[in-house]
Chain A
Amino acid sequence: MARSVDNRAQFRPADHPHDHFILTTVVGSYPKPTWLNRIRDHQDDPAYGVDDAALAEAYDDAARLITEEHARCGLDTVVDGEMRREEMVEYFAERIGGYEFNGPVKVWGHNYFDKPSVTETVRYEEPWLVDEFRFTAEVADRPVKVPITGPYTLASWSFNEAYEDIASLTYDLADLVNAEVTALVDAGARYVQIDEPALATTPDDHAVVGGALERIVDGIPADVRVGLHVCYGDYSRIYPEINEYPIDEFDIELCNDGYTQLEVFDDGAFAPDLALGVVDVHDTTVESVDQIVENITHGLQIVDPDRLTVSPDCGLKLLPRPVAREKMQNMVTAARIVEARLDSGEL
Chain B
Amino acid sequence: MTETIATTPGVFPLPDWAKTRLGRLKGHQKHDLIDGSEPPEVLETYEQARGEVIDDQRDAGMDRIVEGQLRWDDMLAHPLTINPAVETGGIVRYYDNNNFYRHPTVTEEPKPTGDIGADLDRAAQLAPSMPLQAVLPGPVTLADLSTDACVEDVVEFHHLLAGLLAGELERAPDVETLYLLEPSLVTAPPDEDLLAELAELYSTISAATDAETVVHTYFGALTEQTHVYVVDASVAGLGVDIVTEDRAQTVYNAGEYGLADVVALGVTDGQNTDVESATTVVERVGWFFEQLPTADPDRLYLSTNTEPFYLPVSKHQQKLAALAEAAARVPEEVV
Contacts and interface: CB of A to CB of B under 8 A. Distances in A.
Interface of A: 102-112, 115, 117, 156-157, 159-161, 198, 201-202
Interface residues of B, number: 34
B315 A110 contact: no
Contact of B32 (A109, A115, A202): A109
Nearest to B310: A105
Contacts of B14: 106
B100 A117 contact: no
Contacts of A115: 312
A91 B100 CA distance: 22
B96 interface: yes
Contact of A108 (B27, B100, B272): B100
B268 to A, nearest CB: 13
B314 A103 contact: yes
Contact of B99 (A106, A161, A198): A106
B27 A110 contact: yes
Contacts of A156: 98
Contacts, number: 70
Contacts of B91: 108
A102 B312 contact: yes
Contacts of A201: 93, 96-98
Contacts of B30: 109
A115 to B, nearest CB: 7
Contacts of B314: 102-103
Interface string B253-297: 000000000000000000111100000000000000000000000
Given A115-B312, A160-B272, A201-B93, A107 B99 contact: yes
A109 B28 contact: yes
Interface string B315-335: 100000000000000000000
A108 B312 contact: no
B196 interface: no
Interface of B: 13-14, 16, 19, 22-23, 26-30, 32-33, 73, 91, 93-94, 96-101, 271-274, 309-315
Given A102-B315, A108-B101, A110-B23, A161 B16 contact: no
Nearest to B22: A110
A319 to B, nearest CB: 13
Question: Which of the listed residues A107, A156, A159 has the most CB atoms from chain B within 10 Å of its own CB?
Answer: A159
Q: Which 5 A-B pairs have the closest CB atoms?
A: A103-B312, A108-B100, A110-B23, A161-B274, A102-B312
Contacts of B315: 102-103
Given A106-B309, A109-B73, 15 more contacts: A102-B315, A103-B312, A103-B314, A105-B309, A105-B310, A106-B310, A107-B99, A110-B19, A111-B28, A112-B23, A115-B312, A157-B98, A161-B272, A161-B273, A201-B97
B313 A103 contact: yes
Contacts of A161: 272-274
B147 to A, nearest CB: 17
A311 to B, nearest CB: 23
B240 to A, nearest CB: 22
A110 B313 contact: no
A233 B73 CA distance: 24
B274 A105 contact: no
B101 A103 contact: no
B24 to A, nearest CB: 9
A109 B16 contact: no
Contacts of A112: 19, 23
A105 B75 CA distance: 14
B256 to A, nearest CB: 27
A108 B27 CA distance: 12
Contacts of A160: 272
